């Protein structure tokens, strides 16, 4: 018997009431935590602005972070994160360490994807070539949002909400099992991964970006929809 075990045994033998208290305390079941439904969490997230929603998801709604309840289950939280992902453009970069801690590192994370997105994931090859538009000054710290479409990546550094000083396009490879999810909203063919292996860095092409933007605007107009709702990534 170890020293601590012997000491404990000696104490409880000499004090039956104390032993009873310890036994009783350890056998009392914990009170279940109140949970929030996916619908309730979704309604709350929708009320948040685009600059607030990621902070809400990570610090208030995440059941693995903090003791404030009610919260959704972790499974519902993954679904909620997938549903809200395209609203979180700026928050994703700001909270990358927190996302890396909260999410699995291997894919697929099925709950983050719709049926169409799950089908797109299943259709990927075992090694995937992906692209990311960014500022060349931050190319050594690649983010977690990539695209299967090089034109989408080439456009991003020129968007008003990103406006890179040195627009660049990264080309990377990633094994399929390191891809967490495919997101098809806004026609960006987005890939979410923490494991992109950058192979090439090239300056982004402004002329190519203008052509791709013009095509997207024309498509939105022909479909009779609002440009921002059809393809907000063009703004």
The answer to which of 10-19, 44-53, 114-123, 213-222 has the lowest mean pLDDT is 10-19
- Structural domain harbouring 47: 8-103
Report the chain's C-alpha Rg in angstroms.
24
- Considering the domain architecture, whether residues 98 and 164 belong to the same structural domain is answered as no
Residues 184, 182: Cα–Cα separation, whole Å: 7
- Provide the β-strand partners of residue 46: none
Helix ranges, 110-205 (H): 115-122, 150-155
Residues 233, 228: Cα–Cα separation, whole Å: 8
Query: What pLDDT, on the 0 to 100 scale, is given for residue 42?
Result: 95
- Considering the domain architecture, whether residues 96 and 114 belong to the same structural domain is answered as no
Q: Is the dihedral of CA 112, 118, 122, 124 positive or negative?
A: negative
DSSP for residue 57: I
pTM, full prediction: 0.80
Last residue of one domain, picked from the residues 73, 103, 133: 103
Query: What pLDDT, on the 0 to 100 scale, is given for residue 232?
Result: 40
């Amino acid at each position: 018997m170890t020293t601590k075990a012997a000491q404990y045994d000696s104490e409880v033998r000499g004090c039956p009431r104390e032993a009873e208290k310890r036994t009783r305390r350890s056998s009392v079941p914990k009170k279940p935590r109140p949970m929030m439904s996916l619908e309730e969490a979704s309604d709350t997230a929708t009320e948040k602005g685009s600059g607030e929603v990621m902070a809400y998801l990570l610090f208030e709604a995440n059941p693995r972070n903090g003791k404030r309840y009610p919260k959704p289950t972790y499974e519902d939280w993954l679904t909620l994160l997938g549903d809200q992902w395209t609203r979180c453009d700026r928050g994703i970069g700001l909270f990358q360490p927190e996302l890396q801690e909260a999410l699995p590192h291997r894919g697929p994370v099925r709950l983050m994807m719709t049926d169409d997105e799950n089908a797109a994931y299943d259709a990927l090859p075992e090694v995937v070539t992906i692209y990311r538009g960014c500022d060349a000054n931050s190319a050594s710290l690649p983010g977690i949002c990539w695209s299967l479409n090089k034109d989408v990546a080439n456009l991003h550094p020129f968007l008003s909400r990103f406006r890179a000083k040195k627009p660049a396009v990264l080309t990377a490879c990633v094994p399929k099992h390191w891809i967490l999810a495919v997101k098809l909203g806004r026609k960006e063919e987005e890939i979410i991964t923490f494991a992109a292996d950058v192979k090439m860095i090239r300056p982004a092409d402004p002329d190519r970006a203008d052509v791709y933007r013009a095509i997207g605007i024309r498509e939105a107009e022909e479909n009779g929809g609002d440009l921002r709702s059809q393809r907000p990534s063009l703004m």
